[in-house]
Amino acid sequence: MSLNRSILLLLPLIAAAPALAQTTVTGQPATGGASSATSGGQNAVTRPNTDLAHDGRAAATGTGMNVKLERGSNSFTEGEVRRRLEKAGYHEVKDLKKDGDGIWHGSAMDDGKPTSIGLDFKGNVAVQ
């Protein structure tokens, strides 16, 4: 067998070696009847709290008086932020900017008064 032919036969094995070397076992199967379906799973990380009040109506004006905004990776677009703030009862939302902590800041009218507001990655709205 020629050297070139030997190399051609070995190339697929060499190419597969890194993938095989990175394969790991991540854990043992659940025992005693436990499964992911019965364990309760993991709670959701994001939970918007400003979309609807408890009675099913839009959240009232002034919703964010005692809310603390949390830092985090915020994927909301400017349009989504504007809609959430308007749904929370704020009007004339403007000057929206996202800071380095992932919190959107802007200004709006609340009960006829100018207000500084913010929205975090979970959808929490707060007066600032």
pLDDT tens digits for range 74-85: 999 999 999 999
Q: Are 51 and 87 in contact (CB under 8 A)?
A: yes
In the chain, what is the greatest distance between 2 CA atoms, to the nearest angstrom? 88
Cα(92)–Cα(97) distance, rounded to whole angstroms? 15
CA angle 80, 76, 50 (to 5 degrees): 65
For position 56, what pLDDT does the model report?
Answer: 42
54-73 confidence digits (pLDDT tens): 334 444 434 566 788 999 99
The string of pLDDT tens digits covering residues 90-118 is 999 999 999 999 999 999 999 999 999 99
Whether 24 shows a pLDDT value over 70: the answer reads no
Residue 94 neighbours by CB under 8 Å, 6+ apart: 106, 107, 108
pLDDT of residue 29: 59
This prediction's pTM: 0.52
pLDDT of residue 60: 40
Does 11 have pLDDT greater than 70?
A: yes
- Does the pLDDT of residue 36 top 60, yes or no? no
**pLDDT score, position 52:** 45
